Amino acid sequence: MNGSTCGWRVTVVPLFELRGISKEFPGVKALDDVSFEIRAGEVHMLVGENGAGKSTLMKILCGAYRADRGSFFHRGEPVTINDSTAARTFGIAVIFQDFTLVPYLDIAQNIFLGCEFSGRLPGLIDQRRIHTEAKRVLDMVGFNIDPRTLVHGLGVAQQQMVEIAKALSQDASILVMDEPTAALSDRETERLFAMIARLKKNGVAIIYISHRLSEVFALGDRITVLRDGRKIASLLPAETTPDHLVTLMVGRPVDTTYTRLSRPTPGEVVLQVKNLSGPSGFADINLTVRAGEIVGLSGLVGSGRTEVARAIFGVDRVTAGEIRLFGERIGGSAEDSARRGMALIPENRKTQGLALTRSVGDNIVLAGLRKLFPLGFFIPRRAMKAARAIIEKLRIATPTPRRPVATLSGGNQQKVVIGKWLNADARFYIFDEPTRGIDVGAKAEIFRLLDGLVHSGAAILMISSEQIEIVHICDRAYVMRSGRIAGELTHHELTEANIVRLGIDQ
């Protein structure tokens, strides 16, 4: 048998086991001889950088992909998983990040989608039974809600619970969760952890993928680290530390915290926002940003930060208050803001920041077309030259500006978005989660970029959900809560604890 100590429950044979799984895609070896044990009643954490193979492994487990090599064992018996139906017979269920719920059906109908109970007449379904059974499952999960509620009106956390109920209704004994707390508030995260504890008690095995090391240690019974498609280690939380884990994930000792060598002295006031309110979910916002500063905008997911950013940039409507850029009153139009030197690097670079089918060069020059061609005529050669200058300056890894930007890696794509605004001579940048979905190694580069920007006199407002980032990168920060500014932290007051304290519901 395997030599590692089992968790707190003594089981000889794991509930499910994958052995020697390998999978190749054209040009990429996604998984190389990975073995993974799943034990009942245990939370098994799966960690690794983006591209390490975590989601490929889980897709193979749930039958969405087929492994090129490797074997599966259910309670020690060799089995095969060829498709998702087979996976389901072994009780494997995945809670996706993008929920698979139908908005205008109610909770019960969503739970039993595909497995409706037949009614008396042929072809009809028994709605009553669907609703009573749903209630039973919801109670089991501890979710107290009327199963007739339409999914449409539910919040993210509630939808997630419906997804979990859905998995349980199919007698899931192995639950896979991929970054489940990414969009949850602290209180909702607590509820989720309570639910997970309940599930553990019922013998359900949980595979939990997360980037948040605090969660990994708080919740995990066992941790497996993947790197470049290989399993690097499988250990107990007691056997390791966060820094050690990161070293395993990255393969080299990495300074997880980027420290800024020098901070420029703040210059003139670049952005001044007074009493700003808007229908998209914020009220009475006051903030200032000076040249040479990186000001953080912190707060929980849903506290209204992105809404404020969009309103400042001019994309969303404002009902009260004023915005002054370089002393002049502006508002209402993204085109105007861009022309005056404001930049917005949005949260989701693929859907909001880039035209994926267009070339790197076309993307880079888009915001600065007017500046580059004041007469209105577009000259491709001049555009490419400008694009090449930016590519060089930001060290974007692409052989030529003509490649479609979709072929670039996440970090380089983010550089293209930044480059777009650099090319437009922006002097004030709003970054919304600048390092989301970017590898640890590339993050440092992005921060170096930000540093360079402010050293050349620009001003930055940075939204981030990673408190560590805010503390290390920003000069000071505002914390938002429920659509309002809960407080401002000066450089000395800038600690993770203070940010959290201001950000939570009292």
Partner 1 sequence: MKTAADMVTHSRLALSGDILQMLYRLLAVVLLCATLAMLSDVFLTTNNLLNVLRQTALLFLMASGLTLVILTAGLDLSVGANIALSACLAASVIKTTGSPLLGMATGIGCGAMVGLANGILVTALRIPSFIATYGMMWMLTGVTYYYMAGETIHGFPPGFRQLGSGYLLGVPTPVYVMVLFLLIGALFAQRTIWGQQIYAIGANPVAARLSGVPVERRLALVYAVSGAMAGLASLIILARINSAQGDIGEELTLPAIAAVLVGGTSLFGGSGTVAGTLIGALFLTILLNGMNLLQIHSSWQPLVTGCIILLAVWIDNRTRRIGE
Partner 2 sequence: MSTGRLTFASVSIARVPGVAVVLAVLCVGFGATSPGFATFANIANILTQSTILLLLALPMTVIIMTEGLDLSMGAVLTFASIVLAITVVTTGSPMLGFLAALAVGFCFGLGNGMLIAVLDIPPFITTLGTLGIAQGLSLLVTDGQSVVGIPRSVESIYSGTAVGIPMPVIIGALAYGVTHTLLYHTRFGTYVFALGGNREALRVAGISVRAMLIRVYVFGGLMAGFAALLMTARLNSAHPTAGIGMEFDAIAAVAVGGTSFERGNGWLFGTLLGVIAVGVLRNGLNLLAVPSSAQVACIGALVIIALFIDGLRTER
* Interface region with partner 1, contact rule CB under 8 A, candidates 72-80, 279-287, 330-338, 475-483: 330-338
Nearest to 22 by CA among 64, 65, 51, 76: 65
CA distance linking residue 364 with residue 119, whole number of Å: 59
361: partner contacted, choices partner 1, partner 2, none (Cβ within 5-8 A by kind): none
Q: Does 451 sit near partner 2 (CB under 8 A)?
A: no
Q: Does 370 sit near partner 1 (CB under 8 A)?
A: yes
Question: Kind of pairing, strands 459-463 and 428-432?
Answer: parallel
Task: Give me Rg for the CA atoms of the chain.
Answer: 25
Of 103, 117, 378, 457, the one binding partner 1 by CB under 8 A: 378
* Interface region with partner 2, contact rule CB under 8 A, candidates 30-38, 91-99, 263-271, 339-347: 91-99
Shortest spacing between CB 278 and partner 2, in angstroms: 14
Q: Residue 313: helix, strand or coil by DSSP? A: helix
Q: Does 369 sit near partner 2 (CB under 8 A)?
A: no
Helix 127-141 vs helix 156-169: crossing angle, to nearest 10: 110
Of 19, 51, 373, 504, the one binding partner 1 by CB under 8 A: 373
Of 113, 145, 283, 389, the one binding partner 2 by CB under 8 A: 113
Edge-to-edge strand list for the sheet holding 230-235: 92-95, 174-178, 205-209, 43-47, 222-227, 230-235
CA distance linking residue 472 with residue 491, whole number of Å: 10
In this structure, are residues 287 and 478 in contact, taking their beta carbons and an 8 Å threshold? yes
Q: Does 106 sit near partner 2 (CB under 8 A)?
A: yes
Shorter beta-carbon distance to partner 2: residue 127 or 482? 127
Q: Does 504 sit near partner 2 (CB under 8 A)?
A: no
Run of H or E including 480: strand 476-481
* Interface region with partner 1, contact rule CB under 8 A, candidates 51-59, 205-213, 350-358, 495-503: 350-358
Of 6, 13, 105, 315, the one binding partner 2 by CB under 8 A: 105
Shortest spacing between CB 341 and partner 2, in angstroms: 31
CA distance linking residue 95 with residue 193, whole number of Å: 15
Number of amino acids touching partner 2 (CB under 8 A):
28
Of 26, 27, 114, 374, the one binding partner 2 by CB under 8 A: 114
Nearest to 268 by CA among 326, 339, 337: 326
Shorter beta-carbon distance to partner 2: residue 20 or 279? 279
Tokens, residue 462: 């940075």
DSSP string over 59-109: HHHTTSS--SEEEEEETTEEE---SHHHHHHTTEEEE-SS----TTSBHHH
Q: Does 218 sit near partner 1 (CB under 8 A)?
A: no
Q: Does 500 sit near partner 1 (CB under 8 A)?
A: no
Q: Which of residues 225-264 bind partner 2 (CB under 8 A)?
A: none
Q: Which of residues 269-328 bind partner 1 (CB under 8 A)?
A: 313, 315
CA distance linking residue 226 with residue 244, whole number of Å: 14
Q: What's the distance, Cα to Cα, between the start and end of the chain in Å?
A: 51
Kindly write out the interface string for residues 46-85 of this chain, putting x where it contacts partner 2 by CB under 8 A and - elsewhere: --------------------------------------xx
* Interface region with partner 1, contact rule CB under 8 A, candidates 208-216, 250-258, 377-385, 474-482: 377-385
333: partner contacted, choices partner 2, partner 1, none (Cβ within 5-8 A by kind): partner 1
CA distance linking residue 408 with residue 145, whole number of Å: 45
Q: Does 367 sit near partner 1 (CB under 8 A)?
A: yes
Tokens, residue 437: 């979905």
Q: Which of residues 143-172 bind partner 2 (CB under 8 A)?
A: 148, 150, 152
Of 115, 194, 218, 397, the one binding partner 2 by CB under 8 A: 115
* Interface region with partner 2, contact rule CB under 8 A, candidates 9-17, 111-119, 345-353, 420-428: 111-119
Question: Kind of pairing, strands 43-47 and 205-209?
Answer: parallel
Shorter beta-carbon distance to partner 2: residue 75 or 152? 152
Q: Which of residues 420-459 bind partner 1 (CB under 8 A)?
A: 420, 424
Q: Which long-range contacts (CB under 8 A, 24 or more apart) does 447-452 make?
A: 447/258, 447/260, 447/473, 448/258, 449/394, 449/415, 449/418, 450/294, 451/260, 451/261, 451/294
Q: Does 379 sit near partner 2 (CB under 8 A)?
A: no
Nearest to 205 by CA among 90, 39, 329: 39
Contact footprint for partner 2 (CB under 8 A): 84-85, 96, 98-106, 109-110, 113-116, 119, 123-125, 127-128, 131, 148, 150, 152
Contact footprint for partner 1 (CB under 8 A): 313, 315, 333-335, 337-339, 344, 346, 351-358, 362, 365-367, 369-370, 373, 376-380, 399-400, 402, 406, 420, 424
